[in-house]
Amino acid sequence: MIETRIDSEEYAYRAKWGRKATVILRANPHNPIQLPYGKVRTVRAGIPDTFFSIPAMLAHKPRKVRGFISTPHDGIEGVLYFTPEAEPTECQVCTPGEGCKRA
């Protein structure tokens, strides 16, 4: 079983990105960024913004990738995933001029 975890929410209130999470990277079809998908990585997590997701930041090479942590319905229960945010200017799934409407 793959080990994922997230620090207690109280750490998030100490600083904007104050807690760590160990997650599995998952692709977003609306963001073609190349990441080591399927691998376990550490990200910085913030305060939950919805019941289903927590904003997070992944440091990958020289850039920081914004995204969110979630446990998708099609995933293994209790396993945390990091998904990059949609990037409408780079999306190759949506119709030109339509923009990304899904994350």
How would you write the pLDDT of the chain (103 residues) with one tens digit per residue?
A: 578 998 888 777 776 557 899 999 999 998 889 999 999 999 999 888 888 889 999 998 888 999 999 987 766 778 999 999 988 778 888 876 665 654 4
Q: Is residue 31 within 8 Å of 90, Cβ to Cβ?
A: yes
pTM: 0.84
Nearest residue to 43 (alpha-carbon basis) of 62, 16, 26, 25: 25
What are the structural domain ranges in the chain?
Answer: 5-84
Nearest residue to 103 (alpha-carbon basis) of 87, 82, 79: 87
Nearest residue to 54 (alpha-carbon basis) of 31, 28, 81: 81
Cβ neighbours, 10 Å, residue 102: 10
